[in-house]
Chain A
Amino acid sequence: MRDENGKVEFLQGNEACAEGAIAAGCRFFAGYPITPSTEIAERMSARLPEVGGVYVQMEDEIASLAAVIGASWAGVKAMTATSGPGFSLMQEHMGYAVMTETPCVVVNIQRGGPSTGQPTKASQGDVMQARWGSHGDYEVVALSPYDVQEMFDLTVECFNWAETLRVPAVLLADEVVGHMRERVVLREDVETVDRELPPEGEEVERPFPLEPDDLVPPMPVFGRGHRVHVTGLTHDERGYPCTDDPEVHRKLVRRLCNKVRKRAGEIHESVGYDFIERDSDIALVAYGGCARTVLEAAEEAGVTVFRPKVIHPFDEGLVRRLLDGYEVLVVEMNLGQYYEMVKMALDPDCVHLLGYPGGYPPTPERVVEEVERLGG
């Protein structure tokens, strides 16, 4: 069955994610299957050979992201998919991807943690890990889908922002949307972005410029005649290690952060968000699979609701514009991670939390009860 945009399917979120990756131009996947993300690896292993891509099952998650980074430097759009324990193992290379400015996509179908936690159950416990799970100062893009269509669409967006900004982009999904099946249109009209490349064969003298501080330099990928040194050490503009000059380190790290931070507003506007305004003093905030509960509860209770799709970079200005003056209730499947960011943007006394780890989102009734307790 087809509609005007593409094939209409009834798929799991994980399957839709794999299809989104293929549509975005991903041609390399390296991974180590883990519940509840395994269907992504499974489908990529079937689909990539059909489109001339490469699938590699690696020995672990550390190697998986290493292979993805290598593929990206060979000029290919590359992805891996994992869940909690695997995402923890990948943190070393999240930092390496940031420092080497390697566009790539890391899908995290969040399950209950810490540690091996609840393999088959949903969680949103990796919100802060997605931002700063590796060491050092950095910023990434992380997007959170709430249905199967967005598992497709936001995977495409992750590739586009990874390529635009030369950062690892995280599809920060959860078991709710990863495993549920819904109608999805496998769009054939997707807009894709490719990283900017320097002219072929030309010497690139400054592959890693230090200024201006929001610059995304063209990527001199291997195999196109460029000679370039790529290192996780603090490097000078030529890419060579330079670990003892404080000014070089300051400028480099500032640029790595600012190229993402300065575009937070643009990323939110481009990816989009839901804001349903109702005549009420209370506003609910939720994202991902948990937002399905909260959108239903907000309608029942007649209160305003905000559903971001972009989790990182956080846009304080947007949150302030939309939510200032409300009593805000953040509902998430953890003990308050996005909540902390919202609290920093608003009067903290007006920001409340329904933190709900355990494996399932709360029911709409449970959220309505909490709204009533706040006086809604």
Chain B
Amino acid sequence: MRIEVRIAGFGGQGVILAGVVLGRAAAVYEGLEAVQTQSYGPEARGGASRSDVIVSDEEKIMFPYVREPDHLVVMSQEAYDKYIGDVKSDGLVVYDSTLVEPSRGDVEHVGVPATEKAEEELGLRIVANMIMLGAYRELTDIVSFDSLRNAVMDSVPPGTEETNEKALRLGAELAEGGAD
């Protein structure tokens, strides 16, 4: 198993953190090989910020960069338009259906109304990233729920643990609806 994942959106949505949490869940709590890289500087400003994770249960990951993501988790239209072309055909695209209108045909799309539900059910738009992460995990089983939750607990500010865990679980529920 070797999976390349790109998590992308606009600055401030927490896509970098989402990638770090996923990598941490895999590397620290599952004992898998994982490498995370991200966009920096002018590339990371404005419309399309990205956090890339490679997860493998084989040997050490050498070349560290994602070239052809198996999976794209995407939270803005600009990021979708910028990165959708890189995704492997038959790859999986999990998108925030509040903000993204999908267009590519030869990949599997799963829409998750993350931003809408974050506001409606949790009263906090900024946990949309955790809803996306919970949904993505549910769809792929790339790491266990417990590993992901542990990694989230390590990474979020004290006092926000409960809301973040709720967001992960909400994401998992929303994903159960399945593909479009």
- A residues near B, CB below 8 A? 1, 8-10, 35-36, 119-120, 147, 176, 179-183, 289, 292-293, 295-296, 360-361, 363-364
- Not counting A1-B29, A363-B63, a sample of 5 additional A-B residue pairs whose C-beta atoms are within 8 angstroms of each other reads A183-B34, A289-B64, A292-B64, A293-B63, A364-B63
B35 touches which one: A119, A180, A296 (CB < 8 A)?
Answer: A180
Please give, as numbers and ranges, the residues of chain B lying within 8 Å of A293 by CB-CB distance. 62-63
A-B contact pairs, 15 of them (CB 8 A): A10-B24, A10-B27, A10-B36, A147-B60, A176-B64, A179-B40, A180-B35, A181-B23, A181-B37, A182-B34, A182-B35, A183-B27, A183-B28, A292-B64, A296-B63
Number of A-B contacts (CB under 8 A): 58
Interface residues of B in 120-134 (CB under 8 A from A): none
Interface size bracket, B side: 20 to 34
Contact check: which of A9, A120, A289, A296 meets B43 at CB < 8 Å?
Answer: A120
Instruction: Let me know if A180 and B28 touch, CB within 8 A.
Output: no
Overall SS of chain A's interface: mixed
- Check if B118 is an interface residue, CB within 8 A of chain A: no
Check B34–A10 contact: CB distance below 8 A.
yes
Given contacts A10-B27, A10-B34, A183-B34, contact A296 B62 (CB under 8 A): yes
CA distance A292 to B63 in the complex (A): 5
**Contact among B23, B40, B64, B65 with A36 in the assembled complex (CB-CB below 8 Å):** B40
Q: Chain A nearest CB: distance from B128 CB in Å?
A: 22
Question: Which of A8, A119, A180, A296 makes the CB contact (< 8 A) with B36?
Answer: A180
Is B41 a contact partner of A360 (Cβ separation < 8 A)? Answer: no
Q: Which of chain B's residues 57-97 have a Cβ closer than 8 Å to chain A?
A: 60, 62-65, 67
B positions within 8 Å CB-CB of A? 20, 23-24, 27-29, 33-38, 40-43, 60, 62-65, 67, 151
Kindly state the separation between the CA atoms of A181 and B65 in the bound complex, as whole angstroms: 11
CA A180 – CA B40 in complex, angstroms?
A: 11
CB contact under 8 A between A181 and B35, given known A10-B27, A360-B65, A364-B63: yes
Give every chain B residue within 8 A of A120 (Cβ-Cβ).
40-43
Given known pairs A292-B62, A292-B63, A363-B67, the reply for A182 and B40 (CB within 8 Å) is no
Closest to B155 in A: A10
Q: Which residues of B contact A9 (CB under 8 A)?
A: 28
Q: In the complex, what distance in Å separates the CA atom of A289 from the CA atom of B65?
A: 11
